[in-house]
Amino acid sequence: MEQKVIVTLLAIIILAALFFASPRGKLFLEQSKLKDKLSIVGNFFKNLSGKVTSVKNNEGSKIEIHLTGVDPNYMNDQQLTLDDSNFVITLKPESATLETMTLSFKDKVQLSSSNFKGKITYSQGKISLEGKANDIWVDNFGMNKTDISFSITGTPSSYKITNVKKDLLSFKEVSGSLSWAGLKTPALLQKDKLDLYDFQGTIEEKNGLIYIGGSVGYMKLNNVPIGIFK
């Protein structure tokens, strides 16, 4: 079906090119002033191609992407999978449990783990971690044990988490700087729609902004596919 559509479009383009190259076509262009309009459209696509290099994603390969300078509010309602993740998180806890114990904190704490499996959820400027690990450190207190159950909810001030996975990391709108393989100049997003498929990478918050880096199978920017293998 797609091949038929492509062949039909190519046939239309070729017929149009032949017509405009003929004497009658040239006369039509001059009289209708369509020549100037076509020139403008041509210059637009020329400028666009100078900024974006086509991404031909081989089947099974990934596209490296970086989304930087994102307001944390855009992460609200996201839930991501952590798979053997390393993390260092500084936050002000509201609630926490370690195995069967309920933990209480007076102030900010620094959490870390080298092989956490579970999930992270974003809601109203807060994050919640829930899962298991073979090591958990809370400030200078550490525990090493197979499958330690741990959960915590709080307001983060900084963190870095590796091996984050999501089949579809979708932003109804997001502002920030987006770059990917083949793009000469990063795209500045202003409340644009962004869908990242088969995302795997790192999420970091520092100085009040989110930085996301990793790989995707493909993505859609304002519903325009980028990197789909055909």
> What contacts 141, CB < 8 A, 6 or more positions away?
none
Residue 109 Cα distances to 23, 140, 141, 201, 226, angstroms: 78, 10, 11, 25, 41
**Both structure tokens of 140:** 């200078």
Residue 8 has pLDDT above 90, yes or no: no
Asked if 225 and 198 count as a contact pair (C-beta separation under 8 A), the reply is: no
Asked if 113 and 133 count as a contact pair (C-beta separation under 8 A), the reply is: yes
Task: Provide the pLDDT for residue 31.
Answer: 52
Asked if 105 and 93 count as a contact pair (C-beta separation under 8 A), the reply is: yes
Query: What size, in residues, is the chain?
Result: 230
Q: Rounded to two decimals, what is the model's pTM?
A: 0.73
- The fraction of the chain above a pLDDT of 90, given in percent, is 64
Q: Mean pLDDT: which of 9-23, 53-67, 191-205 is highest?
A: 191-205
Torsion, Cα of 69, 138, 95, 129 (10° steps): 50
The larger pLDDT score, comparing residue 25 to residue 169, is at 169
Of the candidates 196, 188, 189, 190, the residue with the CA atom closest to the CA atom of residue 78: 196
Residue 19 has pLDDT above 60, yes or no: no
Output the furthest CA–CA distance in the chain (Å, rounded): 86
Interval 64-103: pLDDT, tens: 999 999 999 999 999 999 999 999 999 999 999 999 999 9
Which pLDDT band holds residue 48 (cuts at 50, 70, 90)? very low
